[in-house]
């Protein structure tokens, strides 16, 4: 199997688990703690970003033999790139779908995650874990 395809499949496997992390966090922040949709979305996305980074570092791009001492730099790059893309994209789509169009906030969040996943893979592959 080609390394790019293998990384893509691993990225998606991590992402599927990350979706669970994000949705669970969103449900807790919104339904249990009563946070606003916007605040709950930002916090939930960041939980998923941190989860995904840890798995991408150890598994998705482990074949690239990345320097251990560069992990904090990669975490910063991942948060600035994937984190920013995910937070801004999720906020925009949640604003449209959940707030303005009154769709279910969990389904709206799933739609946002799906839309942003391709862009996040490209940025991770070419910038963060190169």
| Alpha-carbon span 79 to 82, nearest angstrom | 6
- Look up the pTM and report it: 0.86
Residues 59-94 have pLDDT tens digits of 998 888 878 788 999 999 999 999 999 999 999 999
| Alpha-carbon span 118 to 116, nearest angstrom | 6
For residue 65, what pLDDT is reported?
A: 80
* Separate counts of helices (H) and strands (E) for the chain: 5, 0
For residue 39, what pLDDT is reported?
A: 96
Q: Compute the average pLDDT of residues 6-28.
A: 95
For residue 29, what pLDDT is reported?
A: 98
- 33, 31, 26, 72 alpha-carbon torsion, rounded to 10°: 10
Residues 19-70 have pLDDT tens digits of 999 999 999 999 999 999 999 999 999 999 999 999 999 999 888 887 878 8
The pLDDT of residue 1 is above 80: no
Q: Compute the average pLDDT of residues 87-111.
A: 94
């Amino acid at each position: 199997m080609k390394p790019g395809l293998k990384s893509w499949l691993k990225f998606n496997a991590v992402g599927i688990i990350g979706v669970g992390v994000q949705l669970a966090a969103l449900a807790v922040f919104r339904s249990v703690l009563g946070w606003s949709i916007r605040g709950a979305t930002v916090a939930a996305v960041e939980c998923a970003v941190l989860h995904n980074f840890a798995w991408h570092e150890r598994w998705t791009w482990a074949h690239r033999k990345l320097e251990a001492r560069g992990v904090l730099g990669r975490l910063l790059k991942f948060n600035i790139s994937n984190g920013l893309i995910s937070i801004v994209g999720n906020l925009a789509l949640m604003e449209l779908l959940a707030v303005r169009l009154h769709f279910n906030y969990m389904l709206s969040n799933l739609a946002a995650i799906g839309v942003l996943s391709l862009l996040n893979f490209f940025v991770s592959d070419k910038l963060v874990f190169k």
